[in-house]
Amino acid sequence: MNAFFHIDQARRLDAADPLGHFRRAFHVPVWKGEEVIYLTGNSLGLQPVGVSEAIAQELHDWKTLGVEGHFHAKNPWMPYHEFLTDSLARLAGAKGTEVVAMGSLTANLHFAMASFYRPTPERRAILCEAKAFPSDRYALVSQLAFHGYPESDLIEVSGSGADGVPTDEDLIAAIQTHGPRVATMLVGGVNYFTGRVYDMARITAAARAQGIVVGWDLAHAMGNVPLSLHDWDVDFAAWCSYKYLNAGPGGTAGLFVHQRHHHADLPRLAGWWGHNKESRFKMGPGFDPIPSAEGWQVSNAPVLSMAAQRASLDLFDRMDLAQHRVKGLDLSRRCMEMLEALAEELNEPIRLLTPREDASRGCQVSVQFSARDRRFFDQLVERGVVADWREPGTIRMAFIPFYSSYEDLARLEQILRQTLSS
């Protein structure tokens, strides 16, 4: 029996939800004859129904046209990445020339750092958040080592809370303290562990005022929270596509480079797909970069992967992003209120790690069950909850506006109460 959020109430909300019909555009896994409560879109988004047809089209053209598919496929492969540009620009709050679908997240960060980490003996540090996603830290330490600098030149900004994740104020204070010796900043726009959303506009302005080149890892932000990378004056950003963008495992990632850098004489790790399109196939020895984010490409489009991403971006194109934001905030707020009600009712130590303020969170709720271990989580999984477990005692849950429902939340409450009471 639900004490906080009743099934009938949830079904009324779902019936009135202007985005409710999008759930039918995704394949929701089934467990024991019932659709699972899928809360791991922050790790891997569900498969859009249109993916099969999108990939089948490219397989058909490959089968029937061979190499001519580069020019004569229904969706010609030569410029295939361009089919994603407008959709990605809309989600990134960028101009079309500032974004490109390419590579993988960490590889794209390395490509960007090759251009935007330009240390001097006096200004050589890199600033990031403590508790960054490990791959980011590995990349930044390796960038320091590549330039001959020690790991101690990585300034990791900690927070005062138990989780160690910094706040906006912590980051801005560190920027003001260390600014003169910081060359480049790279921070996750949404913290992967707590779900905290940073005030990227304010932090970017503070860093640029100190002469710091500003980059953002948008792995947990792209397709989750509103972005305005161009207007915020961000230098560069990168993201993956298999989380909130629903592009499938290992989906093609993306890169943002602000337009003010497009004609700059920057060092870069060049490849032929970043070369001037008019002269690319003349195969000359000199690299002539495309004056846009495309100039950071190195290889031709992975068409089958991008086809899956197109199927998802087509849905984003039909989505009212303001309604997307409202629903994500509403579901996450109701989830946090439900967890607090359960904690009080059952006298269970439950601690929310995700900020309560709307501006500081997206779709994700991270919660610590202090008295529980992995066996508790395994019981939830056995009852049809697909979430993410992180030590110590932490469960991450993402309520994706495309396919999460209010009934999912009501069912989750039932299962949590049963499991905590057993």
311 within 8 A of 342, measured Cβ to Cβ: no
Alpha-carbon span 327 to 312, nearest angstrom: 18
Residues 363, 331 contacting (CB under 8 angstroms): yes
Q: Which residues does 52 contact at the CB level (< 8 Å), separation at least 6? A: none
Contact of 315 with 19, CB cutoff 8 Å: no
Domains and CATH numbers, the chain: 7-49+320-421 (3.90.1150.10), 54-318 (3.40.640.10)
pLDDT, position 160: 87
Other C-beta atoms closer than 10 Å to the C-beta of 341 total 15
Angle separating helix axes 7-16 and 406-421, nearest 10 degrees: 160
Q: By the 8 A CB rule, do 395 and 351 touch?
A: no
Residue 255: φ, ψ to 5°: -140, 140
Backbone angles phi, psi at 253, to 5 degrees: -85, -165
Between strands 26-27 and 388-390, the pairing is unpaired
- What value does the CA radius of gyration of the chain take, rounded to a whole number of Å? 22
Contact 288, 276 (CB under 8 A): yes
CA distances from 74 to 54, 273, 419 (A): 11, 21, 52
Query: CB-hemisphere CA count at 13 Å for 266?
Result: 27
What is the per-residue pLDDT for 193?
96
Lookup: tokens for 283: 């195969």
* CA separation, residue 302 to residues 185, 250, 299 (Å): 30, 11, 9
Tokens, residue 173: 């204070």
Q: Which of 159, 164, 165, 140 is nearest to 151 (CA)?
A: 140
Task: State the 10-residue block means of pLDDT for the chain, 422 residues long.
Answer: 79 98 98 97 98 98 98 98 98 98 98 98 98 96 98 96 93 98 98 97 98 98 98 98 98 98 95 96 94 97 98 98 98 97 95 97 97 96 97 96 97 96 90
Please tell me the number of Cα atoms within 13 Å of 257 on its side-chain side.
Answer: 27
Give the H/E segment covering residue 351: strand 350-352
Please give the pLDDT value at position 308.
98
Rounded Cα distance, 213 and 334, in Å: 38
